[in-house]
Chains A and B, each alone.
Chain A
């Protein structure tokens, strides 16, 4: 360790949607690395440790080393010449970068989609259908005396969700923390999260919807046949007990994960759990919350919503935003072979998308921005090395409960931020197109005027 040490208090970890802002980072400024991350969980510690500055080219164009500027020129040419480009990713970058990314999609008339479409997209769709009762995490910390986790494993995926916000956290009306709460966990299997629960409901795989619907029925005083146990693995008595607890609690919270949304039923499951929380408000105060994965996926939802009116899966080719998940969501549009170029920011679809989608990515010019060389970076025509948000880059990140937090970077990076690269691309595309591209034909064809 060198002598040039800096301590950054109140720094923020952007690894997961918890976005804990109480990190105390010790930085070796000579070696450009974080040597200690106090208060970080095991995931956060790894995140800080692994984001030192690596010696990488600023950009790769067709596999050859290039400057950022050379990369920008090629990227801008690709986007200006594409007829149906997709801009995708965005969940691990700042809101400032996300805003520019949406601007590019609007300017060229492409598609704009985020990793929400492959995680809590169904929750977004369910929300559109019925709304939700929700809360900032501090309300759960201070008030919740009953917390139900459903389809998730926070002990491994969001460790501090338990300690900082929802299980052992002490608050105004929960001064004894864990002792003041009943914790329920619902999952298809036992996980390291299970031991934290007072009550564990092991549902049969792919029956979450049935269990949720039965709970809704019981909340409304309807009869449920005892055969529910054969179907779901949960006895009627257990369901009745849970409903009784949910009705009697002072402030209840349902926190649900991708075990629910990326399972059979998808947005029906998400809709059922949101509706259950809504129904319970006839009896007591109840909220529901999707537990979000990536550090700023919630920011992406917010930015895309305020700029377009829709949270993800947006197309601009007619000159205005249209929303159609299944059509404009990236997995679907790549699998169909639709997009003719892709701008992928802070995400690695080539490592986790279905094969057909990855095969199409290999056939079209891809522009990739990432601090690390990823599978997507390797198949990209233009691959930019960018600085890491939160560690090197300032900006804004939204916690999973929509609370925005300002980042305190620990040390400088020689690489530009996503926002800087995207802004250069946007400005150059604007030059090439002479302003925003206007759609051909009658853009309003097909819009029913109300």
Chain B
């Protein structure tokens, strides 16, 4: 076990406990935050420094089948951004889709200690967990793609709601996932079976089924809430990227009817149109979207901000990637997974002079600046879709430093700015405490990870120490010290130790009899045997099974605060 530590003289930012920059000691022992440690415990002097919980990324793409395809397809992206091995750490390559080891080290080197892979096919769960094993330092988990699942559609179509819920629970357990993910629900059957077309509205009939996206979304929200999952259904709405799509987004949020739902990379779903013309350039509807989220506490969202420069669009929304291919102009990957998902990958560059790209950038900032509740509108770039996680420090500076933001606004397409409301919220600046909320405390709370995102006694000792700097990009780029599970893995900006993080997953209870419903479908339509489908425990050397609400109640645990 790790030795005891006392961090002294640091300014502590722990918004979950209302601590806003107070100078006090922080004690660590046995991998957790404790009230006190013996006087001979090792001391880390954090004078002039800011102490925060480790960062928690609620939505990124860092491991699994589609990520590996995106890695393989971009050797040019690796060549100019290499990651050297040290005596204790492995080598790798970077770019917008870094190799696994590099991903772990670079997240840690930004002060992040947990990251959630946001879209994994159930069949790709095993692959994802293997990559997690080679992604050091940080804790990880993944969301499993369920929104185009053919068996789930059949059960829903036949009105078998109880079996639908049981099957969802089985699938979450069998894949060791953390949350169910819906991506463009209904789109895959059009894409794979109807000559690459797509679903366009929530009430359109899904090809081959007596179902609509609205029915699918409602059923998953209901089942996710009934199962008491620590993180609710994570929704990538229909019509991503399309002009005028904000109505779909508002309608999707309304489907929840007061139940919990998380809308991801909401920036990509906040587009209006000029005078109702869908073919024209998009406009910003950040105001309408923010207003809805601000006034509906059952809804949470991550922004999915766009940052200029290279990115990789990788998504289970295959028709979207095919559309982007026209703008990317080069490589395109499509990968279909039987009965479960589609996938598209396009290397992409966001340009500040481009109207649409500049508008997307502005909308991302607007959504942050219009948010009344940082606990529910949290930080993301949908790495690497809106931009690499390596751009997080710059995005933090854009939020904290209005002068810097104005300078950047002057450089982008001005017509786009006119169609956004960014100039109207120009004066707001995020405080360090608010940054701590949107980058760690908020995501941890939305995920139901009670040991993360705060520095109270009993919390996991994931702590980042930043040197204060007027330049917030610089400050958040290079933390001086990063402590993971009580172990200082980075000190004086250098890696001191290798560390294997944990994998978070859920295991909701289900009636084993449900397998009688699932197995025949496998016999008929899958190419892998039912018995070989569930992922064995040994794929997670360091698991943390996060209880569902009923499981927590049964165990007498304190529910997430």
Interface residues, chain A, with chain B CB atoms under 8 Å away: 9-10, 12, 21-22, 95, 99, 103, 106-107, 124, 127-139, 141-143, 164-165, 171-173, 250-251, 278, 281, 283-285, 287, 301-303, 305-311, 316, 319-323, 396, 398, 402-406, 408, 434-436, 438, 443-444, 447-450
A21 to B526, CA, bound (A): 12
Contact of B332 with A434 in the complex, beta carbons under 8 Å: no
Contact of A285 with B193 in the complex, beta carbons under 8 Å: yes
B residues in contact with A316, CB < 8 Å: 85, 91
A397 to B500, CA, bound (A): 23
The digit string for B128-159, where 1 denotes a CB below 8 A from any CB of A, is 00110110000000000000001000000000
Contact of A135 with B336 in the complex, beta carbons under 8 Å: yes
B residues in contact with A438, CB < 8 Å: 85-87
- Tell me the smallest distance from the CB of A143 to a CB of chain B, in Å: 6
A137 to B526, CA, bound (A): 9
B residues in contact with A398, CB < 8 Å: 127
A133 to B336, CA, bound (A): 8
Chain B minimum-CB-distance residue to A284: B195
Quick check: is B80 within 8 A (CB to CB) of the other chain?
yes
Chain A minimum-CB-distance residue to B530: A10
A residues in contact with B322, CB < 8 Å: 281
Contact of A309 with B90 in the complex, beta carbons under 8 Å: no
A residues in contact with B88, CB < 8 Å: 435-436
What are 11 of the A-B contact pairs (CB < 8 Å)? Answer: A10-B531, A10-B532, A134-B334, A136-B335, A142-B525, A303-B130, A308-B92, A310-B75, A320-B91, A321-B99, A438-B85
Binding-face segment, B37-45, B64-72, B274-282? B64-72
Contact of A21 with B529 in the complex, beta carbons under 8 Å: yes
Contact of B101 with A165 in the complex, beta carbons under 8 Å: no
A130 to B191, CA, bound (A): 21
Contact of B335 with A135 in the complex, beta carbons under 8 Å: yes
Contact of A124 with B91 in the complex, beta carbons under 8 Å: no
Shortest Cβ-Cβ A-B pairs, 6 listed: A138-B338, A309-B93, A435-B87, A320-B82, A135-B336, A133-B334
A106 to B524, CA, bound (A): 44
A192 to B402, CA, bound (A): 72
B residues in contact with A408, CB < 8 Å: 532
Interface size on B, residues (CB 8 A): 67
With A131-B333, A310-B75 in contact, is A444–B82 under 8 Å at CB?
yes
Contact of A406 with B134 in the complex, beta carbons under 8 Å: no
A450 to B76, CA, bound (A): 11
Query: Is chain A's interface secondary structure helix, strand, loop, or mixed overall?
Result: mixed
Quick check: is B527 within 8 A (CB to CB) of the other chain?
yes
A305 to B71, CA, bound (A): 7
A residues in contact with B332, CB < 8 Å: 130-131, 133, 278
Chain A minimum-CB-distance residue to B77: A309
Quick check: is B73 within 8 A (CB to CB) of the other chain?
yes
A residues in contact with B68, CB < 8 Å: 302, 305-306
Quick check: is B84 within 8 A (CB to CB) of the other chain?
yes
A21 to B530, CA, bound (A): 10
Contact of A307 with B72 in the complex, beta carbons under 8 Å: no
Specify which of A103, A306, A444 is in contact with B99 (CB 8 Å cutoff): A306
Quick check: is B296 within 8 A (CB to CB) of the other chain?
no
A residues in contact with B335, CB < 8 Å: 133-136, 402
Specify which of A127, A278, A287, A320 is in contact with B85 (CB 8 Å cutoff): A320
Contact of B130 with A95 in the complex, beta carbons under 8 Å: yes
Contact of A307 with B101 in the complex, beta carbons under 8 Å: yes
A133 to B342, CA, bound (A): 11
Contact of A251 with B192 in the complex, beta carbons under 8 Å: yes
Contact of B345 with A131 in the complex, beta carbons under 8 Å: yes
With A128-B72, A143-B192, A287-B336 in contact, is A320–B527 under 8 Å at CB?
no
Given A321-B92, A403-B124, 6 more contacts at CB 8 Å? A136-B338, A142-B338, A173-B193, A308-B99, A309-B92, A403-B123
A287 to B333, CA, bound (A): 10
B residues in contact with A124, CB < 8 Å: 72
With A306-B71, A435-B87 in contact, is A320–B345 under 8 Å at CB?
no
A302 to B134, CA, bound (A): 12
With A308-B99, A435-B87 in contact, is A287–B334 under 8 Å at CB?
yes
Chain A minimum-CB-distance residue to B100: A306
Contact of A307 with B99 in the complex, beta carbons under 8 Å: yes
Specify which of B131, B331, B337, B536 is in contact with A306 (CB 8 Å cutoff): B131
Chain A minimum-CB-distance residue to B93: A309
B residues in contact with A10, CB < 8 Å: 529, 531-532
Contact of B532 with A320 in the complex, beta carbons under 8 Å: no
B residues in contact with A403, CB < 8 Å: 123-124, 527-528
Quick check: is B81 within 8 A (CB to CB) of the other chain?
yes
Contact of B92 with A136 in the complex, beta carbons under 8 Å: no
Quick check: is B196 within 8 A (CB to CB) of the other chain?
yes
